[in-house]
Amino acid sequence: MQHILQEICSSSRSTKLALVTATATSAAYLAYNHFSRPPQSSIPCLRGPPSSSLISGNLFLIFDPDIDQLEQWLKSYGNVFAMPALFGVKGVYLADPKAVAYVTTRFTEFPKPVALNFAIRSLTGPGLAAAEGEVHKRQVRVAG
């Protein structure tokens, strides 16, 4: 994380502005999306850790190299559990390689959440990472 922050600090002004704009836009969209409709979850039956923050959920705990929190969660909840993410949205954490392969190869059955896709498009543009469905299939064929 510190390396990323150093890279950002040493970047040009336009790069910093683009990063701040993308982050602010993503945060505003996520906040609007979260607070403008009733909470829904397609993963109500999965157990998982409580959220450590209303805004960031448990995302910062995962990336902190000094904390072995993720290993503790894997021991407590198994290889698949509910993970509190940004603005109280629940995500699914998969640590089972077969489950990860199943989900990533069936992108039409497991589309990315709208907020995640919006954030990816904001950061990378409308490329392969943000594509869904038939557009994704076509881009994979062209790239492959």
Residue 18 backbone phi and psi in degrees, to 5:
-65, -40
Higher pLDDT, 139 or 37: 139
Full residue range of the structural domain in which residue 114 is found: 106-144
Q: 86 Cβ partners below 8 Å, 6+ apart?
A: 27, 30, 55, 56, 57, 59, 115
Q: Residue 54: which pLDDT band, with cuts at 50, 70 and 90?
A: confident
By CB neighbour count within 10 A (0-12 exposed, 13-18 middle, 19+ buried), where does 103 fall?
middle
In-domain check, residue 22 = no
Higher pLDDT, 4 or 17: 17
State how many domains the chain has.
Answer: 2
Tell me which residue of 113, 101, 107 sits closest to 137, measured CA to CA: 107
pTM reported for the whole predicted model: 0.55
* Same structural domain, 113 and 84: no
| Rounded mean pLDDT, 121-138 | 82
Q: Compute CA distances 109 → 46, 102, 105, whole Å.
A: 19, 10, 9
In-domain check, residue 121 = yes
Among 71, 94, 117, residue at a domain's last position: 94
